[in-house]
Amino acid sequence: MFNPIETLIRSVTDIDADPYSLGDFLGVDSRWCQRCGNNAILTAVQKLCAEEQLAPEKTVFVSGIGCSSRLPHYMGTYGFHALHGRALPVAEGIKIRRPDLHVFVTTGDGDCCSIGAGHWLHAIRYNMNITVLLHDNQIYGLTKNQVSPTSPRGLVSNTSPHGASLDPLNPLAATLGMSNISFVAQAVDWVPSVLYDVIEQAFHHRGLSFVCIMQRCPNYLPDHFEEYIKNPDRLVLLTHARGLQVEESIARRFKHREEHDPADLDRARELSMPRDRIPLGILYRNPEVLCYEDVRSGVEHLSVAERMAALEREFDKFTVDAASPQG
């Protein structure tokens, strides 16, 4: 478990300490339901932190509200549990002031695609160097079974007793239609090897990496993804020299594979549209998109004293004299 005192001593003394282990990234015990797909995502990011030797005091996970947003509590790193739908602007604020930190966002289909949709759009546009993991279980789980923006049409829930009336929002297609996109990928929680590889590539991409993860909810939608789990032919693995590269032992499990160049935006958009098979891998990657923090790096920042003086000047404009009639 993350101990800030120990990590501070470790960094200050600059000694040849033992490498970080998986245990260094364990937070409090998970309270997710058994068989919840969030557990697989948690395991993948903990493994990534250990494999990449990310210092816990230099790593932060930001979330909003929802089942997925409890993930920072289960990580042995710094974390920020923000307001509903506000994970992305909080993460951007952290990154702009502390570009040296490894910043991750963990958000759900309701948190990101409903109340946080405006922030989602602009976060893609700003393209800050942040890894965003969208846990898409297509239902509101924490608040107990309400229809979400990605719920399929006809889904019966507490807020749609006669079935959801609208077609679902497609996070991949929506993201690929935004401005300044630089990395878009998709994974599923029940194929852990591919899930890890996708998150690893997202982390190494410089820019905003958006990873949509289809994630099972065993409580409210226990059979929702069963047809894809029992029939791997419903998945298509996207591989390429500039995209996802997996071991042959993993690749041979997929009957359907496609050599997809992630630089091909038109094909990425085609793959994102509803079809019989779920694409797994890197749909789009453009490392040339400028990051917002690079644009801001040349901006002169005021000192603490200068900022305080500026605040005082603004406050003085609204000072009420106690001796005046208004006082």
Is 224 contained in some domain? yes
Share of the chain above pLDDT 70, in %: 91
- 183-188 and 256-259 strand pairing: unpaired
Is 139 contained in some domain? yes
Confidence bin at 232 (pLDDT 50/70/90): confident
Of 76, 75, 77, 80, nearest in space to 91 by CA: 80
Of 90, 86, 65, nearest in space to 78 by CA: 90
- The pLDDT of residue 326 is 58
Of 84, 87, 76, nearest in space to 42 by CA: 76
Is 299 contained in some domain? no
Average pLDDT over residues 197-225: 97
The CA-CA-CA angle for residues 217, 220, 221, to 5°, reads: 60
| pLDDT tens digits, 136-193 | 999 999 999 999 999 999 999 999 999 999 999 999 999 999 999 999 999 999 999 9
Is 313 contained in some domain? no
Does the reported pTM lie above 0.85?
A: yes
Domain count, the chain: 1
Mean pLDDT of the chain: 92
- The pLDDT of residue 302 is 72
The CATH number for 226's domain is 3.40.50.970
Is 9 contained in some domain? yes
Is 70 contained in some domain? yes
- The pLDDT of residue 317 is 87
Confidence bin at 306 (pLDDT 50/70/90): confident
- The span from the CA of 162 to the CA of 155, in Å, is 8
Is 102 contained in some domain? yes
Of 54, 119, 70, 74, nearest in space to 93 by CA: 119
Is 166 contained in some domain? yes
Q: Phi first, then psi: give them for residue 95, nearest 5 degrees.
A: -70, -40
Length in residues, the chain: 327
- The span from the CA of 86 to the CA of 69, in Å, is 11
Which residue range is the domain that position 277 belongs to?
4-293
Average pLDDT over residues 241-256: 92
| pLDDT tens digits, 283-300 | 999 999 999 998 886 556
